Amino acid sequence: MRILGVDPGLGVTGYGVIESRPSLRLIEAGVIRTKPAEGIARRLAKIYTALSEAITELKPDVLVIEKLYAHAKHPATAILMGHVRGVVCLLSGTRNLPLVSLPSTRVKKAVTGRGHAGKMQVQRMIQQALSLKTLPEPPDVADALAVAVTYSQSIQPKSAR
């Protein structure tokens, strides 16, 4: 099964595709960068187009993202992330690709053993889980891969764990 994990962000959107069987294997990972000067509509279109191309090329079976979490001190950030999440959800719907949202604490706990782990811990554990020679950089890539890895663990038969 191919799993596309996405870490939605307006400035940097991380993505990663893994194959979950027979063992975890990285297919492709990267980032989509946008600049504030491009304006919100252009930025969202760029993210939509890049993820759409990744879906066409990599043919994932499912799309996985983190549930939206907003800190009360930063409501504007949550709104902007919500726009990008909307683009990801739209892609899921238009491509008939199942969409799964996982809480960030569940992802971090599944990957590191701690629900409030730091970015570096997530990067190191994803490096280990996927047998990567280097840390997945930037952290947005590691976060995208972490949601994909977490989903892969949740779909495996209990006898295989």
Kindly indicate the confidence band of residue 81, based on its pLDDT and cuts at 50, 70 and 90.
confident
- pLDDT value at residue 130: 95
SS3 140: helix
| Rounded Cα distance, 24 and 153, in Å | 10
Active site residue 143: no
> Which one from 53, 137, 140, 143 is the annotated catalytic residue?
140
Residue 158 in this model has a pLDDT that exceeds 70? no
**Per residue in 141-153, pLDDT tens?**
999 999 999 999 8
Residue 160 in this model has a pLDDT that exceeds 60? no
Active site residue 61: no
**Per residue in 3-43, pLDDT tens?**
999 999 999 999 999 999 888 999 999 999 999 999 999 99
Average of per-residue pLDDT values in the chain: 90
Active site residue 28: no
Kindly indicate the confidence band of residue 49, based on its pLDDT and cuts at 50, 70 and 90.
very high
Kindly indicate the confidence band of residue 96, based on its pLDDT and cuts at 50, 70 and 90.
very high
The model's pTM? 0.91
> Which one from 19, 38, 53, 66 is the annotated catalytic residue?
66
Residue 114 in this model has a pLDDT that exceeds 80? no
Residue 77 in this model has a pLDDT that exceeds 80? no
> Which one from 7, 53, 137, 143 is the annotated catalytic residue?
7
- pLDDT value at residue 78: 78
Q: 53-89 burial, b if ≥16 CB within 10 A, otherwise e?
A: ebbeeeebebbbbbeeeeeeeeeeeeebbeebbebbb
- pLDDT value at residue 71: 63
Hey, CA dihedral for 10, 150, 103, 98, is it positive or negative?
positive
Q: What single letter denotes the amino acid at residue 35?
A: K
